Structure 1
Amino acid sequence: MARTDEDNYNLHGLEDSVPLINGSRGTSRASSNDGDPANNSFDQQRYIHPGFASSSRYPSNAISNAKYSPLTFIPIILYGQFKFFFNLYFLLVALSQIIPVLRIGYLSSYIVPLAFVLTVTMGKEAMDDYHRRKRDAEANNEQYDVVDRSQNISSKDLKVGDLVRIHKDQRVPADMVLLTTSEHNGETFIRTDQLDGETDWKLRIACALTQSISIDRFSDILVTASAPEKSIHNFLGKLNLEDSSVPLSVDNTLWANTVLASGTAIGIIIYTGTDTRQARNTSKAGTKVGLLELEINNLSKILCACVFLLSFGLVAIGGFGKDWYVNVMRFLILFSTIIPVSLRVNLDMGKSVYAYQIEHDKTIPDTIVRTSTIPEDLGRIEYLLTDKTGTLTQNDMELKKIHVGTVSYAGDAMDEVSEFIAGESSGGARNRREIGQRVRDIVTCLAVCHNVTPLFEDDEVSYQAASPDEIAIVKWTSTVGLSLYKRDRTSLTLHHSSSNSSLCYDILHVFPFNSDTKRMGVVVRDKTKEELWFFEKGADTVMSTIVHQNDWLDEEIGNMAREGLRTLVIGRKKLSPTLYDEFVKKYHTASLSMVDRDSDMQTVVDDYLEHDLELLGLTGVEDRLQNDVKPSLELLRNAGIKIWMLTGDKVETARCVAVSAKLVSRGQYIHSATKIYSRDQALDLLEYLRHKPDACLLIDGESLAFVLQYYEDLFMEVATKLPTVIACRCTPQQKADVALLIRSKTRKRVCCIGDGGNDVSMIQAADVGVGIVGKEGRQASLAADFSVTQFCHLTKLLVWHGRNSYKRSAKLAQFIIHRGLIISICQTVYSVSSALEPIALYQGWLMVGYATVYTMAPVFSLVLDKDVDEGLAKLYPELYRELTLGRSLSYRTFFVWVVVSIYQGTIIQGLSQLFVGVESVLFNKLVTISFTALLLNELIMVALEIITWNKTMVLSEIITFLLYVVSFPFLGEYFDFDYVLMFKFYWQATIIIAAALIPPWIAKALRRRLKPPSYAKVQQI
């Protein structure tokens, strides 16, 4: 029982988006001379007996998670870099220097910066791929005992049909059918956390035919297996041995990458390589591009247009000569620094800093950044889609209430249940005796109907199960006097604490819980009374039609749901031997079908078992809220983030949790929309909500699907204006569809957060996916962009780290553009003053050093700046709302920087030429004062932009200035040292710098005083 009736784990939501590893499916065909019953491709039903496979028939079992090959490494890297316009532009500029007529200055001044960017990127990617290949090699070379070959074989050389012996704590190398185990009953446990993220152990059972025979006879078996598929919870197969045939299900399998947790086991390989469930459910994470990078890419296109217009304009002013187009190209190259090649590498390095700060924040321990390309998007979130169970709640279950028809027990009243179980309240009034019997019946059913296995270690008992609900129920039956003592595949023993006696049952059939049936049943034989019983528990939506008619069930389900409890309906049915024998015969026949097996088996269960069950009662399990959920949701709502809760739970439970978690404000009206099956109903709902913008919408999954089918645009128009939306009874794919719909219709940034495998589709569909490491394992965490351990950590991730990442990157990007633009303006002024000749003002090392040694550290130190303290960011979450408007990097701020750059570049170069002159004999003197003023201007501009200083920033300024002074003796090729020794150099440089800086500083100070930004107002408060 994966979960009772909350969102249920499955991988089907990923089926449309999961690519393959190491090859494609459906291309290899079986040869016609293998002697098999049919000539099948490996995409069809297959027949397997030990040792029959050929290496060419099925995929290799070698694992390859490498992103690149020697042939594809460079092309893929180059494509990833040059799909961005500003990188492509600089590549074309660098390539143009190969043409002699277009060459300006030294080739190195254009090639070196580009080569640096590519080298850093290639080095990082090469190292990552090296580690991937190293991990692959370790897995591929792991040795396995192949029984039929009587030798150890590397994992990569294993083939379909090999009989492999697996030892405790050893990884399963391929998908296998379990044939025998070291336990006499054929049972073993596996750990599946690396496959499905769930941390509990799973029980697996060897095929009954092969568990009881010697290994020598394994060569006579024939396994029929269905075609490879993705679902790790389904398998259709059949095993034949001589005249006997038994069905195979997922309980008889060992999937690749699971780990044997107990004993030893022998299995036969049925799928290898890309056919395994692990490979078919593995997606290569796509590279997400942040909104900030897209905005910068658009700005770079504007800069490119400006460069072209400027170059063409200068040529036009000078008159179109014979080779005017060559001059246009030369000007384009001269002004290429307007689009700085270092922009991308600086932004990437900044992202690494943000990721480091997030992962080393002690107030949000164990937070992991899995996608380092989008930390700035954490500061731009406008919609948060959240799961309920395990996300807003703890997924830590405790049975709080049971109802037996006329009376319910909760809190201190549970002591009376213990008395009934102990038999101390059997006497008394007839009504009380009847109640006591009903209580004993429901407790017995709860103690028997489950998939929990007790594990004893050092006199301590622990429980293993796929569902925390089941563990909570079994723990509760133990506290009231009926403990689970022993459980295996065929039997179950309960311990009656008051009488110190045992109740023994034979387990004849188990019908596991799944998201389709939403119920779990078991057929047992009571050894004491020799009675056959069918016990079942499940969601009210399905159980209400299976149990006898009654007049209290619906009302009590609603009452418990309003208390925030997860409900299960409990029923039973006594079976006659005749009915049971007939059921077994029909069920076995259906289980051997290789077509529609599951539906055929379910039909038999429906016909013989699942009708007219005696209603024993109702249980209510509490799932407590996560720590600090209420203040976290309130803070996020005040930050301007609209929060939608998407859950698979019942309407009333979802409503109750939304109210208790303060997702819905006190007194706020909640409009419920359920069972909408007509277009008129859907239209009425939307028209009503259009006039109730303050109401919250609570809608079930079926109604949501119907409304979206006919009124998708209208629904999004209305729903996005509501304070919150709660969607219950949602499938995993519906969650993902809602996320994609909000992204496409609103163009807003969407964050999705969840903790289970059923949330993976939603998390991957979001702009920013956040996974919580919880009771359901790590799959959501592994699939997410950011992994946290508690929901409340999300507030700091967004309001603090998201704020800083966005503000810092926005400032860094604009300053780097300013740094490139101002030097281009200086070049423009010089070109205009020198008869419009395309001659480089700053050449060679000056161009390279300007963007690296002389300015890089101070400019990059902006990634450590902060405009407010963390306490103020949390105290005034309204500050976050401004970030979503994108004002930190907009066309307005961009053009302000352009104006500042034009002014400062004109002043620096214009005054330098005024003081020195433009004659060719004075060129070195002109470059000396112009470059010095330019460099000092940039260092001071960085200082003026910094809001909160730290030691790193101070040192970067000082050290960079000293580096420039120290490097002077080595720049004789460009500078006039005699001029530097003159006093007039210093007063002229001072005037130039003052003229360039004071007016922009005054304008900034006046604007801050007349219209201060919000963070400045907060600081004043």
Structure 2
Amino acid sequence: MDCSLIRTLINRYCAGEENWVDNRTIYVGHREPPSGTEAYIPQRYPDNRIVSSKYTFWNFVPKNLFEQFRRIANFYFLIIFLVQVSLLFEPMRTCAMTPSMKVVFVVTITSARSGYEDWLRHKADNAMNQCPVHFIQHGKLVRKQSRKLRVGDIVMVKEDETFPCDLIFLSSSRADGTCFVTTASLDGESSHKTYYAVQDTKSFHNEEDIDALHATIECEQPQPDLYKFVGRINVYHDRNDPTARPLGSENLLLRGATLKNTERIFGVAIYTGMETKMALNYQSKSQKRSAVEKSMNVFLIVYLCILISKALINTILKYLWQSNPFRDEPWYNQKTEPERKRNLILRAFTDFLAFMVLFNYIIPVSMYVTVEMQKFLGSYFLTWDEEMFDEDTGEGPLVNTSDLNEELGQVEYIFTDKTGTLTENNMKFRECCIEGHVYIPHAICNGQILTDCSGIDMIDSSPGGSGKEREELFFRALCLCHTVQVKEDDSIDGLKKSQLSGGSCVYISSSPDEVALVEGIQGLGYTYLRLKDNYMEILNPKTDIERFELLEILSFDSVRRRMSVIVRSVTGDIFLFCKGADSSIFPRVTEGKIDQIRSRVERNAVEGLRTLCVAYKKFTCKEYESVCRLLENAKLSLQDREKKLAEAYEQIERDLILLGATAVEDQLQEKAADTIEALQKAGIKVWVLTGDKMETAAATCYACKLFRRNTQLLELTTKKIEEQSLHDVLFDLSKTVLKHSGSLTRDSFSGLSTDMQDYGLIIDGAALSLIMKPREDGSSGNYRERFLEICRNCTAVLCCRMAPLQKAQIVKLIKLSKEHPITLAIGDGANDVSMILEAHVGIGITGKEGRQAARNSDYAIPKFKHLKKMLLVHGHFYYVRISELVQYFFYKNVCFIFPQFLYQFFCGFSQQPLYDTAYLTLYNISFTSLPILLYSLMEQHVSTDMLRREPSLYRDIAKNALLRWRVFIYWTFLGVFDAVVFFFGAYFLFDNTVVTSNGQMFGNWTFGTLVFTVLVFTVTLKLALDTHYWTWINHFVIWGSLLFYIIFSLLWGGIVWPFLNYQRMYYVFMQMLSSGPAWLGIILLITVSLLPDVLKKVLCRQLCPTATERTQTQHQCLSVEQSTIFMLSQTSSSLSF
């Protein structure tokens, strides 16, 4: 009887709350193991439904409103709205709905957008959850919807189908038990990856065999790392003790990946639904906030304080004014009897709230919506930039988040990887050194042995028997010690047609170094052919095929910095071949020409070549059995497997015999040097963080102009620390860099200085560990501060031999220093992800080391050279535009609300609004919003060519220059000045003056309309004066907004009023326009309001112009000169004709 359904129900509904355990046990095909096996801990697993949506039909309204009002600004406007609807006194009833309409409009628009986006997610989820899936039940294939899959189900996937959940690979239609997969939807890598079936199940090719499988899987609980998996499978054969096999990431087929070049595979579901790695990666990265957003919040708090102060002042003055016994209370302030009997404090508090409502327009609710639109729409200018499109890769820039656009204009430190970022990551094999002999491939020098003439002690020209044997071992090591795959091709008896025809094999690997080495030794006579049935085949110079059984692979990792393979030859000899960084290999070798090879390695490193050392050891059968047990115990461990494997590798990879070293050239990327030079001129400090050895990295830094010939290099390396103590080395370096500058440190935007000595610092990973390591007294602060002091006075820093986490530590150290500079990290590989996530702005290079960096970054670009335009042009524009938008919004709201404040002194502090309800509502929504939005998208105060030619212009906007307190106060006082001109200009101009033809005086609504008209024209014309880059769209929006205001006012006072419950605006606007003095007053007040800003611009440009203003003046002069020359040439042509 099949009890799987009953057991599933019991586990799901009767097991209670799941007790969290480190591992999970899965019955393959829901077949229970024999009795007597280890007890099973019931766990509840989700079904296979994917839910990427945020809302449901029932929770959309409350959840969305909660998310919106969680923001301080929105919550503030909600409070104001609630206060408004609770106020019952007459003067405020007329405008009670005005701010609330704005809040409702903003909330409605945001909710509609969120609802539409979530509906699309629901639609995509349903399509994914309802797609058909084949799974095995009672030995037969059955189709059901993907959402009905359960952990333990055995699934069949066909070619070009997507895996419906995370599967353990059991068997394949391919005889060798492999399959090819693309993971482009997960990590962006389009290349085919090879996955391997479980050794004991790869021979099961039909449904009956798979259904008869009796096995359990123990594995870790779900976690989001796509490249890490730990588990083991226990296969039961005829009720005997199970055979345990380790499971790793090479056995795990991930949901979202696609099966390629394989007819079909069988797999067992271990993670389903929201526990799949794809779903766990839906979780967004930690939110980064830009400096502009932080400034906006600070300014908002300032204006909140101003708002409270205004309301408090008016409340106090109101009661002081009413407390005068000789002053009769005006009729519009008279209270009913219940109101008179209310407590004085309660009445004062009510009046205070009323003033808060009246003046709340000083807080720009629409600014947040406009900023979001500006960021979203502005990001398209980056993705549409054709100059940042790379034809070789067919890719352009990618924006993963638009929240940090303006941060691109504030970068002070750039931390860049070297390989694949500054260099092409296009490796070319240059040479190899074996036992002191230097070999160069046929393509370069006909494969001959070169005699070294640089003083290196070389062995005899004729290697002899031992030397010849080591030479062959070296070439075999390079042919065998790798994870390269051969692109499939037709073959004849194991020999590739391309090889028979004199061509070369096409190799595929995630590491370009490995491909370069395997291709390079082809020129020296050894060719790697393929891996077939766990045997690696190579072609020797005699065209004989040699076969080696692949026994173990000790995979490369960034901590060990080496990899090894254990192989068995046809003669039964067992070898371990190991290759890795010189710092990793030399401490583990006991024999070989160590000194000669080290000298050659150092020489190649100085030339900027990437070097690897190769070593080997030979095992006896007994030693190999011991190694097998050691590795098996580590691989079968579910707890701390990586740590145990590292310990096992450490024991195995010792007492090696050094064979030689290789040198691979990685060419510098096009225009990388020009880019770094421009960034330094812009005042940005560039640091290179790399895992390469010091000499190689230093040579690259000279090539890309990070270091210059006059740069004095300072070393903070393990070698220096061994000669002196860390304290002494730091003290000496600090004294050196401060010698020319005294006690002052360089400003981080000093750039390339001519009057100060340029210093470059080189530090390695081991020295950094000592600096970051807590001292015996529990702190490392003194060392860190001294280190930071040294770095501040260096124009460039090179950090070599860096582990991935150390890169992130460096970024965090600078980011949290007392200056709090804006940092940017850029890299192309998985080892750069940690620093990309740590920096304020993370940029990924869509390079050859996968797409992990691009996936985890805020922005992605094809090449390092594109960083120049991204920062110096796009970043510059983004920051200037958003800064002007923020300051302008606060300015125009001060202009808008300060006359309201002044008006209370003339209306007995009665909360009487100065403007009509329609004007209050539409001022920020319609009359003044579109011009500033377009300005913030289109404005170019300097041409793009000028920004690229003059990188120093970047310094003008550094350190949040346009949102500093001085600039903020200037804009605020400018708004106050203009508001005073609007109000008192209109007041004194028309005080006791007949301004209409029939002798009628202006009323309060006409007075308010006049002030509002001057206000709208002034703030719009100010934006026009600030505009440097005019297009037809600018003209249309700016003049169109003014025209819309006029047409609306005419309609509002002439046509719409019969449909309203009040007629106070009837014929008001027409009456104002029919007055000659009103026209004169409007023109005069606009001119007076704009005059201070115009004078300030003229005087500043003449007396103390910034670099940007000087550039603008030069550009204008050049344009005038070119126009004059053109006109003269046209005139002379006409005269000659």
TM-score (ref. length: structure 2): 0.81
Equivalent pair of 1:42/1:58 in contact (CA under 8 Å): no
Contact 1:917 1:926 in 2 (8 A): no
Instruction: Show CA shifts across 1:289-343 (max 9, x none).
Output: 2211211221122122222222322333343455343333222222212111111
**C-alpha separation between the residues in 1 aligned to 2:67 and 2:684?**
33
- Cα distance change, pair 30–669 in 1 and its aligned pair in 2 (3 A): farther
- Would you say 1:190 and 2:181 are equivalent positions? yes
> SS in structure 2 opposite 1:50?
helix
Give 1:149-298 correspondences, 5 Å limit.
Answer: 150-213=141-204, 215-218=207-210, 219-228=212-221, 230=223, 232-242=227-237, 243=240, 245-250=243-248, 251-263=250-262, 264-280=264-280, 283-298=283-298
Residue-by-residue CA offset, 1:837-885 (whole Å, 9 max, x unaligned): 3200112111122223222222223212122111211222111112123
Q: Tell me which of 1088, 1091, 1099 is aligned to 1:995.
A: 1088
Once the two structures are aligned, what percentage of the paired residues are identical? 27
Deviation at 1:80, TM superposition (A): 5.0
Decide which structure has the larger Cα Rg and report it: 2
Partner of 1:571: 615
Q: 1:85, 1:301 within 8 Å by CA — same for their partners in 2?
A: no
Q: Which runs of 5+ in 2 are unaligned?
A: 1-8, 33-40, 323-343, 390-395, 451-459, 491-496, 499-504, 738-757, 774-779, 993-999, 1054-1062, 1115-1137
CA shift for structure 1 position 500: 4.3
1:164 CA drift (Å)? 0.9
Which stretch shows the higher mean deviation, 847-856 or 343-352?
847-856
1:357, CA displacement in angstroms? 1.0
CA deviation after TM superposition for structure 1 residue 404, in Å: 0.9
Q: Are the counterparts in 2 of residues 187 and 489 from structure 1 also a CA contact under 8 Å?
A: no
Once structures 1 and 2 are overlaid, which stretch shifts more, 684-693 or 294-303?
684-693
The one-letter code sitting in structure 1 at the alignment partner of 2:294 is L
Structure 1 residues 401, 381: closer, same or farther in 2, change over 3 A?
same
Following the alignment from structure 2 to structure 1, what is the Cα–Cα distance between the partners of residues 59 and 899? 42
- In 1: Cα distance, 2:909 partner to 2:12 partner: 75
Hey, what does 2:30 align to over in structure 1?
Answer: 51
What is the aligned partner in structure 1 of residue 878 from structure 2? 805
Deviations 1:119-151 (A, max 9, x none): 232233333333333333333223221113631
Q: CA offset at residue 419 of structure 1?
A: 9.3
- Deviation per residue, 1:489-519 (Å, 9 max, x gap): 41222234x6544333333333322334432
Partner of 2:847: 774
What per-residue deviation string (whole Å, max 9, x for no partner) do you get for residues 154-191 of structure 1? 33222221111122222223332222111122122222
Q: Equivalent residue for 1:944? A: 1025
Q: How does 1:20-59 map to 2 (within 5 A)?
A: 43-52=22-31, 57-59=44-46
* In structure 2, C-alpha distance between the alignment counterparts of 1:600 and 1:334, rounded to whole Å: 69
> Which residue of structure 2 aligns with residue 6 of structure 1?
none
Kindly tell me: are residues 768 and 32 of structure 1, through their superposed partners in 2, closer, same or farther at Cα, counting changes over 3 Å? closer
The answer to whether residue 93 in structure 2 is matched with residue 115 in structure 1 is: no
Distance change >3 Å, CA 75–CA 778, structure 1 → 2: farther
Residue 125 in structure 1 maps to residue 114 in structure 2: yes
SS of 2:159's partner is coil
Equivalent residue runs for 1:428-443 within 5 Å:
430-431=462-463, 438-443=470-475
Q: 1:567 & 1:821 partners in 2: Cα distance?
A: 65
Report the Cα distance in structure 2 between the residues aligned to 1:598 and 1:905, rounded to whole angstroms.
69
Select the structure with the greater relative contact order (CA < 8 A; seq sep ≥ 6).
Answer: 1
d(CA) in 2 for partners of 1:582, 1:502: 30
Deviates more, 1:703-712 or 1:148-157: 148-157
**In 2: Cα distance, 1:99 partner to 1:944 partner:** 43
What is the SS of the residue equivalent to 1:260?
strand
Aligned length: 980
- Indicate whether 1:823 and 2:896 are aligned: yes
1:547–1:571: 8 Å Cα contact kept in structure 2? yes
Cα 1:951–1:618 change in 2 (3 A) is same
- The worse-fitting range, judged by mean Cα deviation, of 479-488 and 295-304 is 479-488
Q: Which moved more, 1:809-818 or 1:79-88?
A: 79-88
Q: Flag the 1:755–1:591 CA change in 2: closer, same or farther, 3 A.
A: closer
Residue deviations 1:788-838 (CA, integer Å, cap 9, x gap) = 111111111111111111111111111111111112122123222233332
Note if contact 2:474-2:660 (Cα within 8 Å) is conserved in structure 1. yes
Match of 2:949 among 871, 875, 893: 875
Match of 1:3 in 2: none
Cα distance in 2 for residues equivalent to 1:679 and 1:282: 50
Counterpart AA for 2:29: P
Match of 1:22 in 2: none
Deviations 1:689-709 (A, max 9, x none): 322334322222232122123
Q: Give the letter aligned to residue 220 of structure 2.
A: A
CA positional deviation for 1:48 = 2.4
Q: CA deviation at 1:747?
A: 1.5
Q: Work out whether 1:714 is the aligned partner of 2:768.
A: no
What is the Cα-based RMSD across aligned positions, in Å?
3.1
Decide whether the 8 Å contact of 2:510 with 2:848 is kept in 1. Answer: no
Pairing 1:425-824 to 2, within 5 Å after superposition: 430-431=462-463, 438-456=470-488, 461-496=505-540, 499-527=542-570, 531-549=573-591, 550-577=594-621, 579-580=623-624, 583-584=627-628, 588=632, 591-592=635-636, 610-675=653-718, 681-693=725-737, 694-709=758-773, 710=780, 711-745=783-817, 746-824=819-897
The one of 1050, 1058, 1076 equivalent to 1:969 is 1050
CA drift at 1:611: 4.0
CA distance in 2, matches of 1:677, 1:76: 58
User: Counterpart amino acid of 1:906?
Assistant: V
| Residue pair 1:354, 1:801 contacting (<8 A) in 2 also | no
User: Aligned letter for 1:913?
Assistant: Y
Residue number among 921, 926, 932 corresponding to 2:1013 in the alignment: 932
**Counterpart residue type for residue 743 of structure 1:** K
User: For the Cα contact (< 8 Å) 2:51–2:274, is it kept in 1?
Assistant: no
CA distance 1:796–1:589, shift in 2 (3 Å): closer
Which amino acid in the other structure matches residue 1079 of structure 2? Answer: Y
Question: Structure 1 residue 774: deviation in Å?
Answer: 0.8
Give secondary structure in 2 for the equivalent of 1:212: coil
Question: 1:582, CA displacement in angstroms?
Answer: 5.8
Aligned to 1:443, what secondary structure does the other structure show? helix
1:1008/1:477 CA distance change after superposition, 3 Å? same
Per the TM alignment, residue 520 of structure 1 is displaced from its structure 2 partner at its CA by 2.4
CA distance in 2, matches of 1:925, 1:179: 84
Q: Mapping of 1:300-449 within 5 angstroms? A: 300-320=300-320, 321=322, 322=344, 323-365=347-389, 366-410=396-440, 414-417=444-447, 430-431=462-463, 438-449=470-481
Does the 8 Å contact 1:865/1:946 carry over to 2?
yes
Q: Is the 8 A contact 1:821 1:901 kept in 2?
A: yes
The 2-side partners of 1:838 and 1:228 are apart by 63
Q: Which moved more, 1:400-409 or 1:767-776?
A: 400-409
In 2, Cα distance between equivalents of 1:80 and 1:638: 44
Unaligned ranges ≥5, structure 1: 1-27, 421-427
Letter of the 1:92 partner, please give it.
I
SS of equivalent residue, structure 1 residue 225: strand
Residues 620 and 76 of structure 1: CA distance in aligned 2, closer, same or farther (over 3 Å): farther
8 Å contact from structure 1 (residues 202, 465) kept in 2? no
Partner SS for 1:226: strand
Q: Specify the code of the residue in structure 2 equivalent to 1:570.
A: V
2:1089 aligned partner, one-letter code: A
User: Is contact 1:236–1:597 with CA below 8 Å preserved after alignment?
Assistant: no
Matched residue SS, 2:1039: helix
Q: Which residue matches 2:754?
A: none
The TM-score with structure 1 as length reference comes to 0.89
Amino acid at match of 1:1014: A
